[in-house]
Structure 1
Amino acid sequence: MKKNVLMNFLGKMADLISSKLKEQIKTYELELEKKKLETLVDNMDKAIVSIDVNGKIDKYNAKFREIFKLKEDVYNKNIFKILDFISEPSIDNFKRDKLCSFSYKKEGYTLKGIYNINKIVLKDDLKGYVIDFIDKKDAIKTYNKINKDYKITLENIIGESQEIKQVKKEALIASKSSSTVLITGESGTGKELFARAIHNHSKRSENPFVAVNCAAIPDNLLESELFGYEEGAFTGARKGGKLGMFELAHKGSIFLDEIGDMSLHLQSKLLRVLQEKELNKIGAKSNVFIDVRIIAATNKNLEDMIKKRTFREDLYYRLNVIPIKLPSLRERKSDIPLLIDYMVKEYSEKLNKSVSGVDNNVLDAMLSYKWPGNIRELQNLVEYSVNMSYSSIISLDVIPKKIRTIKHEEVIREDDSIRTLDELEKHEIIKALLKYKDYKKDKELAAKALGISRATLYRKLEKYNIVIK
Structure 2
Amino acid sequence: MNTLKDIPIAMLETILEEAIEWLVVVDKAGNIIYINRNYCHFLGVNREEVIGKHVSNVIENSRMHIVVKSGKEEIADLQYIKGNYMIANRIPIRSNGEVIGAFGTVFFRDAQEWMKMNSHVRSLFLKMQSYIQDIDSGVKYGLSDILAVSKSMNDLKEKVKMIAPSDISILICGESGTGKELFAHSIHQLSGRSHQPFVKVNCAAIPEHLLESELFGYEEGAFTGAKRGGKKGKFQLADGGTLFLDEIGDMPLNMQMKLLRALQEKEVEPIGSTKPISVDVRIIAATNRPLEKMMKEKRFREDLYYRISVVPFNIPPLRDRMEDLSVLCDYFIKKICKKAGKRISGIAKEVMNLFSRYQWPGNVRELENVIGASIHLSNGDMITMDSLPEHMREPSQFPLGEKKLKEILEETEKSLLMQSLKKYQNDKREAAKALGISKSTMYEKLKKYELS
Instruction: Report the TM-score, using the length of structure 2 for normalisation.
Output: 0.59
* 1:228-377 correspondence to structure 2 within 5 Å: 228-377=217-366
* 1:81-120 correspondence to structure 2 within 5 Å: none
Q: Secondary structure at the match of 1:397?
A: helix
Contact in 2 for aligned 1:154/1:172 (Cα 8 Å): no
Give me the whole-angstrom Cα distance separating, in 2, the residues matched to 1:336 and 1:257.
Answer: 26
* 1:403-418 correspondence to structure 2 within 5 Å: 403-406=392-395
Q: 1:414 to 1:272 in 2, by over 3 A?
A: closer
Of 130, 143, 160, the residue aligned with 1:171 is 160
Q: Per-residue deviation at 1:176?
A: 1.4
The question of 1:186 aligning with 2:178 is answered: no
Contact in 1 for aligned 2:346/2:382 (Cα 8 Å): yes
The question of 1:139 aligning with 2:131 is answered: yes
Tell me the equivalent position of 2:185: 196
Contact in 2 for aligned 1:171/1:324 (Cα 8 Å): no
Q: 1:45 to 1:293 in 2, by over 3 A?
A: farther
The question of 1:156 aligning with 2:145 is answered: yes
Give me the whole-angstrom Cα distance separating, in 2, the residues matched to 1:399 and 1:189.
Answer: 22
Tell me the equivalent position of 1:397: 386
Q: Secondary structure at the match of 2:316?
A: coil
Q: 1:394 to 1:228 in 2, by over 3 A?
A: same
Tell me the equivalent position of 2:211: 222
The residue type equivalent to 1:237 in the other structure is A
Q: Deviations over 1:233-271 (max 9, x none)?
A: 122211100010111111111111110111111111110
Q: Per-residue deviation at 1:43?
A: 3.6
Q: How many residue pairs align between the two structures?
A: 285
Q: Secondary structure at the match of 2:312?
A: strand
Tell me the equivalent position of 2:197: 208
Q: Deviations over 1:181-224 (max 9, x none)?
A: 00001111111111011111111111111111100010001110
Rg larger in 1 or in 2?
1
Identical aligned pairs, as a percentage? Answer: 47
Q: Deviations over 1:57-81 (max 9, x none)?
A: xxxxxxxxxxxxxxxxxxxxxxxxx
Give me the whole-angstrom Cα distance separating, in 1, the residues matched to 2:140 and 2:244.
Answer: 16
Contact in 1 for aligned 2:145/2:182 (Cα 8 Å): no
Q: Per-residue deviation at 1:283?
A: 0.9
Q: 1:242 to 1:135 in 2, by over 3 A?
A: farther
Q: Per-residue deviation at 1:401?
A: 3.2
Give me the whole-angstrom Cα distance separating, in 2, the residues matched to 1:242 and 1:359.
Answer: 54
Contact in 2 for aligned 1:183/1:296 (Cα 8 Å): yes
Give me the whole-angstrom Cα distance separating, in 2, the residues matched to 1:170 and 1:376.
Answer: 23
Give me the whole-angstrom Cα distance separating, in 2, the residues matched to 1:323 and 1:154.
Answer: 18
Give me the whole-angstrom Cα distance separating, in 2, the residues matched to 1:389 and 1:155.
Answer: 29
The residue type equivalent to 1:139 in the other structure is Y
Q: Secondary structure at the match of 1:255?
A: strand
Instruction: Report the TM-score, using the length of structure 1 for normalisation.
Output: 0.57
Tell me the equivalent position of 1:380: 369
Q: 1:186 to 1:43 in 2, by over 3 A?
A: closer
The residue type equivalent to 2:132 in the other structure is I
Tell me the equivalent position of 1:423: none
Question: What are the ranges of 5 or more consecutive residues in structure 1 without an aligned counterpart?
Answer: 1-38, 48-132, 416-469
Q: Per-residue deviation at 1:315?
A: 0.4
Give me the whole-angstrom Cα distance separating, in 1, the residues matched to 2:211 and 2:169.
Answer: 21
Contact in 2 for aligned 1:181/1:320 (Cα 8 Å): yes
Q: Secondary structure at the match of 1:327?
A: coil
Question: What are the ranges of 5 or more consecutive residues in structure 2 without an aligned counterpart?
Answer: 1-116, 402-452
Contact in 2 for aligned 1:253/1:292 (Cα 8 Å): yes
Give me the whole-angstrom Cα distance separating, in 1, the residues matched to 2:134 and 2:205.
Answer: 24
